[in-house]
């Protein structure tokens, strides 16, 4: 789910699969923090990111094992209001691969954006969300670390609204440019998952993580906003921090 596949169904914590395509710059291993602006004008979820031009970005994503820079270097933008938290990201990808067609398919085995959210930061009751270039969604939540097995409460629905703008064609042999993702996660979804389903108070902090997985001809590359520094994405203590501004 957060690792490239060794088999179609088996995940293992021992996999070290991230291959850096760039050795430039010092590794970034600090826990990042982003102040998220509150908006009063509704955001249209249509995959067009032009309305995000004035919104600050996260740091460029890094190799998850060591925090080094890689050839895949996206950054995300976030906003919030009383209804939802909003995310926008543009991902460069010369080879779009996303065979999953159905809700809750194993999107992590190919190209996707992945998010993990732990509202109270205690490492318990955290959400995992994924969206593929085909605009297919995987969503689940966990009571504690990777529990219940194998993929948490996958019967749960986040009711996340998503849109993807493709810069290429998925699963053909022609060269691609990438894809843009825009989404809204309603606060009420957290309530269904046994967390606080209210909008956060201004000034409060959530633990939040973003990853991009990129299937390539020579394997799979993965990068994250905050480097977990181990061969596992489920490391709440290494999630970044979102501060919700007024």
- Distance from chain centroid for Cα 94: 19
Q: Are 123 and 11 in contact (CB under 8 A)?
A: no
Q: pTM for the whole thing?
A: 0.90
What is the tens place of the pLDDT at every residue in 68-104? 999 999 999 999 999 999 999 999 999 999 999 999 9
Reported as type and span, the H/E element at residue 190 is: helix 188-192
Per-domain boundaries in the chain: 35-244
What is the tens place of the pLDDT at every residue in 91-137? 999 999 999 999 999 999 999 999 999 999 999 999 999 999 999 99
The dihedral through the CA atoms of 225, 118, 162, 218 has a sign that is: positive
Rounded CA separation 34/46 (Å): 24
Average pLDDT over residues 194-215: 96
Question: What one-character DSSP code corresponds to residue 164?
Answer: E
Q: Does domain 35-244 have CATH number 2.60.40.1190?
A: yes
Rounded CA separation 115/222 (Å): 13
């Amino acid at each position: 789910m957060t690792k490239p596949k060794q088999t179609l169904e088996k995940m293992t914590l021992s996999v070290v699969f991230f291959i850096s395509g760039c050795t430039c710059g010092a590794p970034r291993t600090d826990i990042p923090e982003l102040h998220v602006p509150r908006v009063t004008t509704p955001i249209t979820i249509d995959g067009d990111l032009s309305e995000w031009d004035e919104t600050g970005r996260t740091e460029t994503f890094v190799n998850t094992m060591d925090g080094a820079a890689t050839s895949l270097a996206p950054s995300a933008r976030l906003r919030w209001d009383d209804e939802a938290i909003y995310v926008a990201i543009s991902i460069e990808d010369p080879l779009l691969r996303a065979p999953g067609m159905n809700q809750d398919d194993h999107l992590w085995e190919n190209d996707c954006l992945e998010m993990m959210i732990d509202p109270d930061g205690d490492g318990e009751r955290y959400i995992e969300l994924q969206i593929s270039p085909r605009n297919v969604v995987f969503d689940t939540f966990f009571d504690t670390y990777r529990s219940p097995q194998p993929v948490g409460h996958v019967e749960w629905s986040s009711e996340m609204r998503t849109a993807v703008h493709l810069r290429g064609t998925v699963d053909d042999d022609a060269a691609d440019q990438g894809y843009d993702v825009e989404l809204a996660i309603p606060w009420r979804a957290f309530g269904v998952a046994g967390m606080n389903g209210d909008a956060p108070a201004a000034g409060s902090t959530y633990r939040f993580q973003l990853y991009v997985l990129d299937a390539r001809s020579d394997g799979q590359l993965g990068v994250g906003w905050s480097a977990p520094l181990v061969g596992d994405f489920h490391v709440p203590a290494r999630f970044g921090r979102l501060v919700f501004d007024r």
